[in-house]
């Protein structure tokens, strides 16, 4: 029975540590992004790096890293080599996924309806011919295409650019960022949801660390 309690306490404490970066990420978004009065624009690369950083606890200590666990039977050196190989594979996956986000722009804390109005004004001022269909905007006769993914729950819009006219993209993005700086963000459920998720993770972490402390006689 004592062995079972020690194992449960150890596993719970480990999960509490893994959840720490995700808890901080949720609180950061709630306080410094969704608590602001203006939308936040961030490149897809930085947005994805933030997601990987939030998941770093699970990636470094969680289930994916358990692929190296069987090598413990062959000694510390074998396990260290296997875990090092896992880290190299993880770095490669992160690099590939992040590079795929180079053509994305993520808008946070903006109502999709407000974005649609602002985007129409930006395109009109840029004197660019465009065709808008649900989830897509084709610019300059299709030379540049923007795929859109919107969320009313998270008050976010993701723009995924396709095409070779990088000058036009830079001009539109610059105008869009400037226009959004004058838009006041409406209230949405995102901030509350993020705080609730962070609170749940924090309570779980405190419970796990307290259980571990009691099991090991620290308290």
**Mean pLDDT (whole number) for 157-176:** 94
Report if pTM > 0.95: no
Q: Are strands 104-108 and 156-163 parallel, antiparallel or unpaired?
A: antiparallel
- pLDDT tens digits for range 29-85: 999 999 999 999 999 999 999 999 999 999 998 877 788 888 888 888 888 899 999
Q: What is the model's pLDDT at position 1?
A: 53
DSSP 62: S
- pLDDT tens digits for range 7-22: 555 566 778 888 999 9
d(CA 137, CA 157): 13
Type and span of the H or E element at 130: strand 130-133
């Amino acid at each position: 029975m004592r062995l079972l309690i020690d194992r449960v306490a150890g596993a719970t404490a480990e999960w509490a540590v893994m959840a720490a970066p995700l808890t901080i990420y949720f609180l950061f978004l709630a306080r410094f992004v969704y608590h602001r009065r203006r939308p936040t624009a961030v490149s897809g690369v930085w947005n994805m790096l933030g997601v990987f950083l939030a998941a770093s606890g699970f990636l470094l200590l969680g289930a994916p890293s358990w692929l190296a666990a069987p090598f413990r039977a062959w000694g510390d050196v074998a396990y260290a080599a296997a875990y090092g190989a896992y880290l190299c594979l993880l770095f490669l996956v992160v690099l590939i996924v992040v590079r795929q986000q180079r053509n994305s722009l993520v808008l946070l804390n903006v109502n999709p309806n407000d974005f649609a109005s602002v985007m129409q004004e930006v395109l009109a001022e840029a004197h660019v011919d465009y065709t808008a269909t649900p989830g897509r905007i084709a610019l300059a006769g299709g030379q540049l295409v923007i795929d859109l993914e919107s969320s009313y729950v998270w008050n976010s819009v993701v723009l995924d650019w396709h095409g070779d006219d990088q000058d036009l993209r830079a001009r539109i993005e610059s105008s869009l960022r400037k226009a959004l700086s004058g838009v006041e963000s409406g209230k949405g459920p995102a901030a509350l949801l993020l705080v609730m998720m962070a609170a749940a993770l924090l309570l779980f972490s405190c419970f796990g660390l307290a259980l571990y402390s009691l099991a090991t006689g620290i308290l």
